[in-house]
Chain A
Amino acid sequence: MEYFAQQLINGLTLGSIYGLIAIGYTMVYGIIGMINFAHGDVFMVGGFLALIVYLALVSLGITFVPLALMIVLIVAMALTALYGWTVERVAYRPLRGSFRLAPLISAIGMSIFLQNYVQVAQGPRVKPLPPVVTGGYQFGVPGGFGVNISNVQIIIIATTVALMTGFTLLVAKTPLGRAQRACEQDRKMASLLGVDVDRTISLTFVIGAALASVAGLMYLLYYGVVDFYIGFIAGVKAFTAAVLGGIGSLPGAMVGGLLIGLIETFWSAYFSVEYKDVAAFSILIVVLIFMPSGLLGRPEVEKV
């Protein structure tokens, strides 16, 4: 039971990270209908930028952890958002309204570019960071194993909840959210009604990248390490999460992310670590076969 509760907490933590990345996929898919393959690498860039900003703060003498984390969060979000914006501008906007596969290939090219750009710029070696946030709470009977929640896990889950809430409000209440939903429904009509479609799409990429950088920071805090290769695996998992939840649906992305995180953690805990990705992918396949639009996605009605 304690073991189960422990895995549940670990799974939720991992799922939060996936969920944050998945939002970027699902928003972009919702609005321009493309798989932004480079998004996983934007997450990786976000992790690196968080690391660099943190190290810069340390060298400037700012070592009070909550303050440092706040600054890292904001600066890394801003810098990664710039990357997200640039990726859209360079690799996707010229292909707007073009054939479906062209942006996908362009995105794969962008993914290769970013991965190797970071590798060249930051060196191929893994970057280990000693724990920044330490400590935690223990529940359960004294003498037993107990259930540990580390402060890092609390930060990750709390930040995710806060961002998700803020983000849902953003989409539901603000003019930007309305413009986004309008573009999702019908881009041409939205532009005729005075919505600046280009700007809305750019902002979508900016928000997605900012959330991915938060995920990058969380990853860095949780695992204490980044390398240029984390983007691919995390990206594929997060995309899986987005599809599982129903692509285009924001709550779906979060639910999908949590599910993938939980499945992976429980599978590793009770069965085998080696096959945890197989478990995640198999569940994806099963869900898609029986529920082709994901858990929370709108069913696609075939128009004849």
Chain B
Amino acid sequence: MTVAEHDAVTRSEPPAFAAALRDAFVAALIALGLAAPMMGLMATPGPEGLKLEPHWQRVAIAVAVVFVGRLILNLTIWRPGVRKPKTANSPRTDAMLARIAKLLAPAAIVIAVALPFLPGVERYTVDLGILVLTYVMLGWGLNIVVGLAGLLDLGYVAFYAVGAYSYALLAQHFGLGFWICLPLAGILAAFWGVILGFPVLRLRGDYLAIVTLAFGEIIRIVLLNWYWFTGGPNGIGQIPRPSFFGLEFKPGPDGFAATFGLQFSGLHRIIFLYYLILALALITNFVTIRLRRLPIGRAWEALREDEIACRSLGINTVTTKLTAFALGAMFAGFAGSFFATRQGFISPESFVFMESALILAIVVLGGMGSQFGVAIAALVMIGGFELFREFKDYRMIVFGAVMVLIMVWRPRGLVSSRTPSVFLKEKKTIAGALVQEGHG
């Protein structure tokens, strides 16, 4: 209620203060209408069934916050004539952010590489780093599908699940190690990407979105109910941990620590996992950057811009879309098998729709097509989310609200400009407003 409702104010001319006050009052009244039943009366189970428990102070706080917040906003940034609401990012900020991203990217990689050995870094930080990097990798993988090819995929987590279950099942039944399973998991996920993609890729826009969502849910439900194969809701446990190219992380003479003459520490494995996911993420990044400069990458972007024109130029849109889908799926498969080996336990609960939505949000918030933006978005969303762990349920409320606010603030994400894949004389960044986002 506090964000958009200012056109009434901007339209009417002074006296500004009276108008601002009146507007804040209206907003507070609406807040009262929203909050009074939901926050004021709590349905609580009692001895004779449900009864209502009054919580009027919460309503009072909510209404007061809306009133004061809105009044302040009305008198400052929403004052008549101060600033129009933006529906697109301005080209100048675009260019500036793109430059900053370019400067910061190498620094970010250096920090990422050095992180486990920086002073004051504990196990918790490295663990958090692993988590963030997993989402960075997933974001980069999905970026191929959504950001480059412009295909809206709401079921991306399905391929993450395929990767995780591939590793877990291959290890369980055939005793295969992580390093063999990693490529296999990627191939299997890509294979599923093709299987699922083939029938549906001629659908456009939101139809594609809902079908991918449906596929994601189908895979999750099958994993949940196929007891003898996947363990159903109990999942699969005791998934083998990765070894350092054959050397296991265990105490004793043939372990990693002993071989390198180190004191055994549980941290070794965490640090190894950290570098593993960092390497996987950087490979994803490297491959994506290379693909963009190859004809296939250009065809993806052209497809996002105008599919009909692509067909008139002899581009086979079906195979082009399928490669994007399969490659995106493959990286999710890699990330999935990493997830399985890191956790040692997987269950369908880790692969719910919310995960797909989160990864998509990271891609869109970061700015579609921008590798650095996606990484920053993953860091902010996942890292920030973990930092506020003690706020429990409230952090989810804030999380949702932040997603809305970022979109209202920068609808194209943080870094929305596009860098040309090739240039003749001078590389100029292209303002985000000119770049299409695809209809498929």
Contacts and interface: CB of A to CB of B under 8 A. Distances in A.
Nearest to A86: B1
Interface in A245-285: 247, 272, 274-275, 277-278, 281-282, 284-285
A302 B402 CA distance: 38
Interface in B357-388: 357, 360-361, 364-365, 368
Contact of B225 (A91, A247, A274): A274
Interface residues of A, number: 75
Contact of B308 (A118, A121, A300, A302): A302
A158 B412 CA distance: 45
A147 B435 CA distance: 59
Contacts of A56: 37, 41, 52
B88 A98 contact: yes
Interface string A223-242: 00000000010001001100
Given A99-B437, A109-B361, A292-B203, A94 B394 contact: no
B432 to A, nearest CB: 9
B294 interface: no
B85 A105 contact: no
B231 interface: no
A116 interface: yes
B345 interface: no
B42 A121 contact: yes
Interface in A76-118: 79, 82-83, 86, 89-91, 93-106, 108-118
A215 interface: no
A247 B205 CA distance: 12
A165 interface: no
Interface residues of B, number: 70
Nearest to B362: A105
B34 interface: yes
A62 B121 CA distance: 62
A100 B100 CA distance: 26
Given A35-B206, A101-B368, A281-B218, A108 B361 contact: yes
A112 B403 contact: yes
Contacts of A289: 199-200, 203
Given A106-B407, A123-B42, A292-B207, A112 B368 contact: no
Interface in B7-56: 30, 33-34, 37-39, 41-45, 49-52
Nearest to A126: B45
Contacts of B364: 101-102, 104-105
B108 interface: no
A283 to B, nearest CB: 10
A86 B30 contact: yes
Given A55-B52, A275-B225, A113 B397 contact: yes
Interface in A207-231: none
A239 B210 contact: yes
A73 B373 CA distance: 47
A63 interface: no
A130 interface: yes
A289 B199 CA distance: 7
A74 to B, nearest CB: 14
Nearest to A244: B210
Contacts of A302: 308
Contacts of B222: 275, 278
Given A49-B38, A116-B400, A285 B44 contact: no
Contact of A52 (B52, B221, B408): B52
Contacts of A53: 37
A116 B396 CA distance: 6
A45 interface: yes
B97 interface: no
Given A35-B206, A102-B364, A95 B411 contact: yes
Interface string B204-216: 1111011101110
Contacts, number: 208
Contacts of B207: 243, 288, 292
B437 A110 contact: no
B404 interface: yes
B4 interface: yes
A79 B37 contact: yes
A101 B214 contact: no
Contact of B3 (A48, A90, A99, A292): A90
Given A51-B43, A90-B4, A285 B214 contact: yes
A49 B37 contact: yes
Interface in B308-323: 308
Contacts of A130: 49
A223 to B, nearest CB: 14
B217 interface: yes
A102 B412 contact: yes
Contact of B214 (A90, A112, A274, A281): A281
A304 interface: yes
B43 A232 contact: no
B191 interface: no
B393 interface: yes
Contacts of B400: 109-116
A275 B403 CA distance: 33
A105 B407 contact: yes
B114 interface: no
A130 to B, nearest CB: 6
Contacts of A277: 217-218, 221
Contact of A118 (B38, B50, B200): B38
Contacts of A89: 1, 4-5
Nearest to B312: A304
A99 B360 contact: no
Given A79-B33, A86-B30, 9 more contacts: A55-B43, A59-B51, A91-B3, A95-B408, A99-B411, A108-B360, A110-B400, A112-B399, A119-B396
Interface of B: 1-5, 30, 33-34, 37-39, 41-45, 49-52, 58, 85, 87-88, 146, 152, 199-200, 202-207, 209-211, 213-215, 217-218, 221-222, 224-225, 308, 353-354, 357, 360-361, 364-365, 368, 393-394, 396-397, 399-404, 407-408, 411-412, 437
Query: What are the 6 closest A-B residue pairs judged by CB atoms, nearest first?
Result: A109-B403, A113-B400, A112-B400, A102-B411, A281-B214, A116-B396
19 contacts: A59-B52, A89-B4, A96-B87, A104-B152, A105-B403, A112-B399, A114-B400, A115-B396, A116-B394, A119-B396, A122-B42, A127-B45, A247-B206, A275-B225, A282-B214, A285-B214, A285-B215, A292-B202, A292-B207
